[in-house]
Amino acid sequence: MELSWDEVLDEIESCRRCALCENIHRKVPGQGNRNADLMFIGEGPGGDEDLQGLAFVGAAGKLLTRMIGAMGLSREDVYICNVVKCRPPGNRTPLPEEMAACIPFLRRQFLLVRPRVIVLLGATAGKAILDPRFSVTRDRGKWVERKGFWFMPTFHPAALLRDPAKKRDTWHDLQAVMEKLKELA
């Protein structure tokens, strides 16, 4: 079956697979270049994202925008989304069943974008996509290849705001991403 962006976005908008959709302002499917070589996947929408319907627009999003800029790219060059498309109450970590409800949407987005490299931002993205036992402090900075696609897990920008000492490791990870993109070009 041929996938279309309109179908995926309509499915996300009408989704009632879990309780996350009950007390939100807007769903946050993701945005950016739909043919990007580079995709960023975070945890889930926060308060600013819930109000605007856009991924990574709050404080962590502003830092992500600067990180992308430091890579010589802009937000328009990449695709940015989250594991879950609705804001968890109180910005808590999404529950496994909530992540499972949204993973089919994320897979469809992935198949439509077909990025060469995917940066997983934080533990939740790593657990949802790579392994439920994923630990960002243990596993960040290590390439994972699956079916010809390359995943680089690193710290979430929100973690960098809480602990600026993690910025150096994250920058090393993003430099490896830039090298991998050059290698795959």
Q: In CATH, what number is assigned to the domain containing residue 140?
A: 3.40.470.10
Contact between residue 153 and residue 141 where contact means Cβ atoms under 8 Å apart: yes
Number of domains making up the chain = 1
b/e map of 154-180 (b: 16 or more CB within 10 Å)? Answer: bbbbbbbeeeeebbeebeebbebbeeb
Domain containing 91 equals: 5-184
Residue 60 pLDDT? 97
Q: Give φ, ψ of 110 to 5 degrees.
A: -60, -45
Confidence category of residue 1, pLDDT binned at 50, 70, 90: low
Question: How much of the chain exceeds pLDDT 70, in percent?
Answer: 99
Does the pTM surpass 0.95? The reply is: yes
